[in-house]
Amino acid sequence: MSTTEYDNTTIILSNPPTKEVDFDYESKTSTFKVSKSKFSTANLKPTDIAIKTLYLSNDPTQRGWIQKNQNPATSYVKPVLENDPVSSLGLAEIIAVGSEITNYKVGDVINGFLSWTQYGIINEKQIFNKIDLSKKLPLYYYLTVFGMTSLTAWSGLTQVGQIKKGDVVIVSAASGATGSVVVQLAKKVYGASKVIGISSSLEKIKFVESLGADVCLNYKDSDFFEKLQKEVGSDGVSLYWDNVGGEILDHVLNVMATKGRIVACGAISGYNDGSKFAVKHWPVIITRRLRVEGFIVGDFSAKFGEAIETLAGALTSGKLKFQEGETCTIEDCTGDKFEKVPKVWGKLFSADKPNGKLVSLVSEYKA
């Protein structure tokens, strides 16, 4: 096997945060630091796979992975420790393989559990699947319309929420990567009678309504709860998709129908401040006999084929809207711009958060 050496940049977790993330590399309390090194394909272990990162997924759940002093027993992934590369989902090209690797070869493009690095070493357990390049689809599709956020939307609606035709559905963080797909599937594929989105600005409200939501409400409005009650009406909400937790979950609990279902997908309201996870109206779950169920998308990996078939059909028929710049944003983090990776991810927690899915381009794939 020939050996090649590359200039490599890796983003390391420098100061695991407890509250707000510090993106200033020059600060003593910076959450991240930049590591420059040479990456070589020499001396690969027999089970090693050397990769060049192509795209990185930006996901709110990564905030939990880097939290300081977390209990590994309560996490579904291995926590990122101080001085570790930051973990991420992503797409990569295989540039070398160890002697015992038979399922993958140089040139394959894989979808897997990677890290914030331009080049790296992974093992087969970190690979979710090999991309079928013969389909000639843009690679970023496999992190967006056919990626984990869309698979999460499908799995949560069908397997957890057990959505039915005629359901009244509320979706919080409805303009986000997962919420925007939930809105479309619920209304256009599974026949919800009404879909109510919750978001945070006039621009985002218009975006969610353009996807098919009957109405989208701004949770920052002083009369948000009154508007929510009016839109729900007397029958209540049969299915609530919760991406936010905390105060918004509290509000929605009070408009749930008896025996309603709550899909607990995320709790972004408290990722930087655990006190905001608090829920005051828990007794409503008892009195209205609600079913609240959390899930991780990997729970339903055996059904991903069915999910992708549904998503592909919805995309082809026009029931699922997908357009770069509208439902997907790709940030250029190639070459020297790789150091932008943390700040790009940080947009998920800011007023600059784009609609839909946010993806970082690390390296162009050249077939």
pLDDT greater than 60 at residue 1: no
Span of 44-48, 100-104, 274-278 with lowest mean pLDDT: 274-278
Check: pTM over 0.85? Answer yes or no.
yes
pLDDT for position 274: 80
Contact 333, 304 (CB under 8 A): no
Residue 2: pLDDT band with limits 50, 70, 90: low
pLDDT for position 336: 96
Residue 31: pLDDT band with limits 50, 70, 90: very high
* Residue among 342, 354, 352 at smallest CA distance from 21: 342
* Residue among 351, 327, 321, 295 at smallest CA distance from 177: 327
DSSP per position, 81-108 = PTTSBPEEEEEEEEEEE-TT--S--TT-
- Name the average pLDDT for the chain: 95
Residue 58: pLDDT band with limits 50, 70, 90: very high
Segment 108-121 shows an average pLDDT of 97
Residue-wise pLDDT for 64-98, tens only, equals 999 998 888 777 788 999 999 999 999 999 999 99
pLDDT for position 3: 62
Residue-wise pLDDT for 206-246, tens only, equals 999 999 999 999 999 999 999 999 999 999 999 999 999 99
Q: How far apart are CA 261 and CA 282, in angstroms?
A: 14
Segment 32-61 shows an average pLDDT of 96
- Top pLDDT among 50 and 70 is at 50
Residue-wise pLDDT for 280-324, tens only, equals 999 999 999 999 999 999 999 999 999 999 999 999 999 999 999
CB count within 10 Å of CB 332 equals 13
pLDDT for position 195: 98
Residue-wise pLDDT for 350-365, tens only, equals 988 999 999 999 999 9
| DSSP three-state, residue 239 | strand
Phi/psi of residue 41, each to 5°? -90, 5
Checking 213-218 for CB contacts under 8 A at 24+ apart, the result is 213/171, 213/174, 213/183, 213/187, 214/187, 216/174
Place of tokens 């029931």: 319
Q: How far apart are CA 280 and CA 276, in angstroms?
A: 11
